[in-house]
């Protein structure tokens, strides 16, 4: 036994050569750390005759029922659906969720994270802005608060990531469109707000080339999260300029496709699969309003329930002290065939 008196958990962790979070996990649940780590901690407990302040630990743990849910743009019904399903999962698991929106702004996203710090949440489920995020700020937050990212990933930040398999979405749709009619051209934003757009564009090119077709990409000008307006205005320009090289148009997401449907209507172009139709239009995501467009939009459905469930389960496991390796889970989409294509 050492004669040095260890005064607190931080000092014990330093003397043991381990991180403070690892030592804390052990005291909350010894089975949550690896056997070799557990033995190392127990040997150090014997050596330094250290006993944690259990009362203080329990007081801190009383603050661990709050969970933050952060989305990039709550006015987007896709993220509204994510917020709804995740909130219900958190409540079912016994936690009190609060939903925050970054409103498409990096500075506001950082401000949300600072507000969450003040709430001392047990953990956070976050869909970051992506390329627009302040990576250092998010990284620092993830180091301090158990965080699971969903929808868009940032390097290896957070305890885990759960999101859609975006390349699979586009492969599935391109395969379908090529089987049932002219190969599609691809309509996307030149500077997309959502980081998943690049993965879809790349998958479109790869799939078209694999099928022996020439990829054709039409890029819409415009920035921000007003996708429907961009799809409408840039769709009109593209129709007038004859930019669409195919009678089949695959949009990067459903919101662009909804705007393009309106542009086609204004140009007198009938959309659909019938002999009297001029073009086919398809999207991706299964936006909550996509089945109510005219005509209803063919798309790839995100599995909101699976993504929400797995993200929540991973976060609860981390909160409860599980020593999980960082992992990424990609959930496949499902083809939804409607009248537009």
Provide the 10 A C-beta neighbour count for residue 337.
Answer: 13
Q: Say if residues 317 and 95 touch (Cβ distance below 8 Å).
A: no
- Burial, 60: exposed, middle or buried (Cβ in 10 Å; 0-12, 13-18, 19+)? exposed
Q: Look up residue 326 and give its two tokens.
A: 């960082």
Please report the sign of the dihedral spanned by the C-alpha atoms of residue 333, residue 93, residue 110, residue 149: negative
CA atoms 73, 319, 32, 143: torsion sign: positive
Bridge pairing between strands 123-126 and 96-101: unpaired
List, for residues 301-328, the tens digit of each pLDDT value.
Answer: 999 999 999 999 999 998 888 777 888 9
Q: Which CATH class is domain 66-164+304-332?
A: alpha beta
- Strand 96-101 and strand 66-71: the pairing is parallel
pLDDT of 33-68, one tens digit each?
A: 788 888 888 888 888 777 665 434 444 544 558 999
Q: Hey, do 66-164+304-332 and 166-301 end up sharing a CATH topology, with the first three levels equal?
A: yes
> Using one digit for the tens of pLDDT, what is the confidence trace for 222-268?
988 899 999 999 999 999 999 999 999 999 999 999 999 999 999 99
Average pLDDT score over the chain:
90
Determine the Cα–Cα distance for residues 89 and 85; give it in Å rounded to an integer. Answer: 6
Q: What's the pLDDT score for residue 210?
A: 98
C-alpha dihedral, 69 to 71 to 75 to 80, nearest 10°: -50
DSSP code string of 300-314: EE--HHHHHHHHHHH
Q: Is the peptide bond before 295 cis (omega within 30 degrees of 0)?
A: yes
Query: Quick count: other Cβ atoms within 10 Å of Cβ 189?
Result: 23
Q: Note the pLDDT of residue 64.
A: 58
Domain spans, the chain: 9-52, 66-164+304-332, 166-301
Eight-state DSSP code of residue 291:
G
Show Cβ contacts of residue 81 under 8 Å, excluding neighbours closer than 6 positions: 288, 304
pLDDT at 294: 95
Mean pLDDT of 73-99: 92
* pTM score, whole prediction: 0.78
Sign of CA dihedral 256, 261, 266, 269: positive
Q: Tokens 């403070």 belong to which residue?
A: 20
Which CATH superfamily does the domain covering 166-301 fall into?
Answer: Response regulator (3.40.50.2300)
Give the 3-state secondary structure of 324-337. CCCEEEEECCEEEC
Residue 35: its pLDDT value, please?
A: 86
């Amino acid at each position: 036994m050492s004669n040095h008196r260890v005064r607190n958990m931080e000092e014990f962790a330093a003397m043991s050569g381990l991180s403070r979070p690892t030592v804390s996990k052990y005291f909350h649940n010894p089975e949550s750390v690896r056997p070799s780590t557990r033995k190392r901690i127990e040997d150090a407990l014997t050596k330094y005759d250290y006993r944690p302040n259990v009362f203080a630990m329990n007081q801190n743990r009383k603050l661990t029922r709050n969970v933050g849910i952060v989305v990039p743009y709550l006015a987007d019904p896709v993220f509204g659906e994510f917020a709804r399903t995740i909130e219900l999962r958190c409540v079912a698991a016994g936690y009190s969720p609060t939903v925050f929106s970054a409103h498409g702004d990096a500075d506001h996203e950082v401000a949300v994270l600072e507000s969450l710090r003040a709430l001392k949440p047990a953990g956070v489920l976050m869909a970051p802005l992506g390329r627009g995020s302040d990576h250092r700020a998010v990284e620092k937050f993830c180091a301090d608060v158990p965080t699971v990212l969903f929808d868009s990933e940032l390097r290896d930040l957070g305890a885990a990531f759960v999101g859609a398999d975006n390349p699979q979405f586009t492969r599935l749709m391109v395969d379908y469109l090529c089987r049932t009619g002219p190969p599609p051209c691809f309509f996307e934003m030149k500077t997309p707000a959502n980081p998943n757009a690049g993965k879809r564009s790349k998958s479109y090119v790869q799939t078209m080339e694999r099928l022996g077709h020439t990829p054709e990409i039409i890029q819409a000008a415009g920035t921000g999260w007003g996708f429907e307006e961009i799809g409408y205005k840039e769709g009109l320009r593209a129709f007038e300029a004859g930019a669409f090289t195919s009678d089949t148009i695959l949009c990067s997401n459903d919101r662009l496709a909804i705007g393009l449907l309106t542009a086609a209507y204004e140009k007198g172009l009938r959309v659909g699969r019938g002999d009297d139709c001029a073009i086919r239009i398809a999207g991706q995501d299964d936006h909550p309003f996509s089945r109510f467009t005219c005509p209803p939009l063919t798309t790839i459905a995100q599995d909101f329930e699976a993504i929400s469930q797995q993200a929540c389960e991973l976060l609860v496991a981390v909160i409860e002290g599980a020593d999980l390796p960082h992992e990424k889970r990609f959930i496949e989409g499902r083809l939804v065939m409607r009248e537009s294509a």
